[in-house]
Amino acid sequence: MGSIISFNDNPLSINNRIFHFTLYSLLPISLICLYFNFFSLTHSPTQLLHSTTIFTYHTSICSSPPSTSSIEEDMAYDYEKSCDYSNGDWVSDMREPLYNVTTCGTIKESEKCTTNGRPDLGYLYWRWKPSQCNLPRFEPNTFLKLMKNKHIAFVGDSLARNQLESLLCMLSTNSTPYLVYQNGEDKKFRRWHFPSHNVNFSLYWSPFLVHGVERSNEEQYYNTMFLDLVNERWARDIDQMHMIVISIGHWFLLPSIYYEGNLVIGSLNCPELNHTQIDFYVPLRKALGTTLNSIIDTKVAKGNGIDVIVKTFSPAHFEGDWNKGGTCSKTEPYRKEEKVVGGMEGEIRRIEIEEVESAKVKAKEFGGIRFEVLDVTKLALLRSDGHPGPYMNPFPFTNGVQEYVQNDCVHWCLPGPIDTWNEMFLEVIKKWK
């Protein structure tokens, strides 16, 4: 009779048992790895950031674990790239501004609030804290390195000038700018050069962006705009520009007549002219649309790219009307729950964002042309304390409190809250690069 071999005593059967045990042990782990690999491919980095337990479990089982610091750095990097800097609150910050009125030579006299006698300095010691991330302090050297050999143009109203002057002051803490060109009343067309990095900054006064005639107190009280014709005073130089920063809004609130195709399509607050009354939202949208489309068409025709940033509307804070006793006398920011973006400033902001999104869609057909919004409306709305107010003029109360003192509640003291716009501006550039 054949001998019977005990399975338990057979060395081969022991190996089989080990093999099957290993196989059955690895199978659940493999399924777990497969699941989480699939999960990581089908979820955005932002979604993964909100799934901390899953993210950690996946890395510990299926790969060699990176250091805690590298995981945190990667998470922070992805998070910052997708951060919404437009929502947040102003928090106390006792660090000194990067510059002051004595160290920067590009500040307009009416925005030198401290040397014009403003007694309170608390408005200088606040920083913008986005709700879900961090807004880094401005790095002049980083900005100049990223913009090396570039020409950046600020186009639009006086807030474009205000922002550029702030930017030049911040950059001048690292390198000296030289004024190489100026022209026009009140120096409305200027150019600065940073030889250290071969960077040029230009200022183009164009409050409508499109072709138009500004109102005159002596001749006519209303503006004239040609909504389908871009203003060639700045547009003829598009070929020389690598980046354009656009600022419009406040001039559209004034009485105006609007043309399209050389025909009057309506007017705003000009009742004696017998034109159709239309609100300014339609002309604003048309003017911005004409501008963005013109930039695309020009760059496509020349075969080169450009970056375009549209700054959203920065609200005024007059308690009353300009030149009629309106003031802005707060000395601290509003809290975020005290002011909500809505009404006129909310509608202007919405139009600006929508037109940028439309331009992005069109630009995708060609490549090399990028558009972005610099959304400053909320953070500006909260800073009624950051305007020159009566200190647009030197020592307005030297002879006592007058019955009427002119206030500027549109533009911003330098240094001041507008410096934050340029911190956000740099983050947009870093994201692109």
Q: What is the pTM of this model?
A: 0.81
Give CA–CA dist 195/173, Å, rounded: 14
Express each pLDDT in 43-93 by its tens digit. 433 332 333 322 222 333 233 334 444 444 444 444 345 789 999 999 999
Express each pLDDT in 178-207 by its tens digit. 999 999 788 899 999 999 999 999 999 999
Show the domains of the chain with their CATH numbers: 7-78 (no CATH), 92-432 (3.40.50.1110)
Give CA–CA dist 199/243, Å, rounded: 11
Distances (CA, A) of 105 to 141, 170, 173: 19, 11, 11
Strands 256-260 and 263-268: antiparallel
**What is the pLDDT at residue 320?**
63
Please, which pLDDT band fits residue 321 given cuts at 50, 70 and 90? low
**What is the pLDDT at residue 402?**
79
Strands 88-92 and 126-130: antiparallel
Task: Identify the helix (H) or strand (E) that includes residue 189.
Answer: strand 189-194
**What is the pLDDT at residue 187?**
87
Point out the residues that are catalytic: 158, 408, 411
Give CA–CA dist 215/200, Å, rounded: 31
**What is the pLDDT at residue 323?**
56
**What is the pLDDT at residue 182?**
96
Q: Quick one: average pLDDT of 222-228?
A: 98
The stretches of 229-280 forming alpha helices (DSSP H) are 232-235
Q: Quick one: average pLDDT of 262-277?
A: 96
Contact status, residue 80 vs residue 134, Cβ threshold 8 Å:
yes
Query: Count of residues for the chain?
Result: 433
Please, which pLDDT band fits residue 342 given cuts at 50, 70 and 90? very high
Which tokens hold the place of 78?
């992805």
Longest dimension (CA), the chain: 129
Residue whose C-alpha is closest to residue 198's, from 268, 160, 145: 145
The amino acid at residue 292 is L
CA 384 vs. chain centroid, Å, equals 19
β-bridge partners, 339: none
Contact status, residue 328 vs residue 118, Cβ threshold 8 Å:
no
**What is the pLDDT at residue 55?**
27
Residue showing tokens 């909260």 = 382
Q: Quick one: average pLDDT of 121-150?
A: 97
Task: Identify the helix (H) or strand (E) that includes residue 193.
Answer: strand 189-194
Which tokens hold the place of 292?
């963005």
Strands 210-213 and 223-230: antiparallel
> Residue 351 above 70 pLDDT?
yes
Please, which pLDDT band fits residue 325 given cuts at 50, 70 and 90? low
Express each pLDDT in 352-403 by its tens digit. 999 999 999 999 999 899 999 999 999 999 999 999 999 999 999 988 887 7
